[in-house]
Structure 1
Amino acid sequence: MAEGEEGVMRIGRRCYVSNLAWRTSWQDLKDKFRECGNVVYANVTRGDDGRSKGWGIVEFETPDEAIAAVNTLNGVDLGGRRISIVVQGIPWKFTWQDLKDLFTEIGDVERADVMQAPDGRSKGWGTVRFLSKEAAQSAIDSFHGSDLEGRTLTVFLDKKA
């Protein structure tokens, strides 16, 4: 999430990409994600030892390009591994309970998690596990693209689910 010149937050342009092959570089990410739009930033997170942590960030010029990446590249092969993509969009103050409560409107929620940074702050994305596939699809139909406290939600079925 980046802050613009007038203090306006630009939301929904970044994709979190996981399950990267260890040899995948930031350039590999950028080259692959250019299929969906103008990539303004790409990075593969590395540990203190310089080795890949298996995940990275790709930022597009527009939120629509980020959504296109989720819809077309989630689960594709990159460097011999099927990558997973999530676009951030959960309000920063949301806890797992807030997320669970929101999606309980749709169906029975087995578990909800909000991913956190090492300092305990929200990363702005999470997962919700429903007891039925129908409820999961209903959540996608109901919430994908909707605004929640000034953030645009991107909701999709996790390919590993």
Structure 2
Amino acid sequence: MEGNEMQEVKIGKRVFVGNLAWRTSWQDLKDKFRECGNVVYANVMRDDDDRSKGWGIVEFETPDELVVRGIPWSYTWKELKDMFAEVAGVERADVVYGDDGRSRGYGTVRFSSPEEAQAALQAFNGRDCEGRALFVFFDKYA
């Protein structure tokens, strides 16, 4: 950027969800992520033989959702919410758990506004948290 040029930041409403169990359906995905916000679209990608590729896309009604990877395995929604509340207005935080009841190491955080979500992304992306690097993002394909 030169001088006082401002870079436009596009905040999306879609998130990538990886490491899905092979049997996960689009409805399972949608139902789980409804805990985080109003889901308007969910899809599990499939190959030519109609087998799951193990990943999918979830689209929320608003861009206020934020995906956080690399959270400590011991964190619950409460620790995740408290951590992000340091810099932004957090409405809700959720940690994703596997069928075995163990944390998958990622979750979602919903903010009061897109501006607060952007501030949290800038403050936490790449930060070390109990020996794990946080990866905080909005889906760039929204």
Q: TM-score, normalised by structure 2?
A: 0.56
Task: Map 1:48-59 to 2 at 5 A.
Answer: 51-52=51-52, 54-55=54-55
Q: What amino acid maps onto 2:81 in structure 1?
A: K
Listed as ranges, the gaps of 5+ residues in structure 1 are 1-14, 26-49, 57-73, 76-85
CA distance in 1 between partners of 2:51 and 2:90 (Å): 37
* Larger relative contact order (CA 8 Å, sep ≥ 6): 2
Q: C-alpha displacement at 1:88, in angstroms? A: 3.4
Q: What amino acid maps onto 1:91 in structure 2?
A: P
Q: How many residues align?
A: 96
Aligned to 1:93: 74
What secondary structure, in the 3-state scheme, does the structure 1 residue paired with 2:18 have? strand
- The answer to whether 1:23 aligns with 2:47 is yes
Residue 115 of structure 1 contacts residue 123 of structure 1 at CA under 8 Å; is this kept in 2? yes
Residue 97 of structure 1 contacts residue 112 of structure 1 at CA under 8 Å; is this kept in 2? yes
CA distance in 2 between partners of 1:96 and 1:105 (Å): 15
Kindly report the root-mean-square deviation, in angstroms, between the aligned alpha carbons of the 2 structures. Answer: 3.3
Aligned to 1:132: 113
Listed as ranges, the gaps of 5+ residues in structure 2 are 1-16, 21-42, 59-66
Classify 1:23/1:99 alpha carbon distance in 2 versus 1 (closer, same or farther; 3 Å): same
CA distance in 2 between partners of 1:159 and 1:139 (Å): 17
Q: C-alpha displacement at 1:107, in angstroms? A: 1.5
CA distance in 2 between partners of 1:135 and 1:152 (Å): 21
Q: Percent identity?
A: 55
- The answer to whether 1:143 aligns with 2:124 is yes
Residue 47 of structure 2 contacts residue 53 of structure 2 at CA under 8 Å; is this kept in 1? no
Residue 136 of structure 1 contacts residue 157 of structure 1 at CA under 8 Å; is this kept in 2? no
Greater mean alpha carbon deviation, residues 86-95 or residues 110-119: 86-95
- The answer to whether 1:152 aligns with 2:133 is yes
Runs of 4 or more above 3 Å deviation:
17-20, 158-161
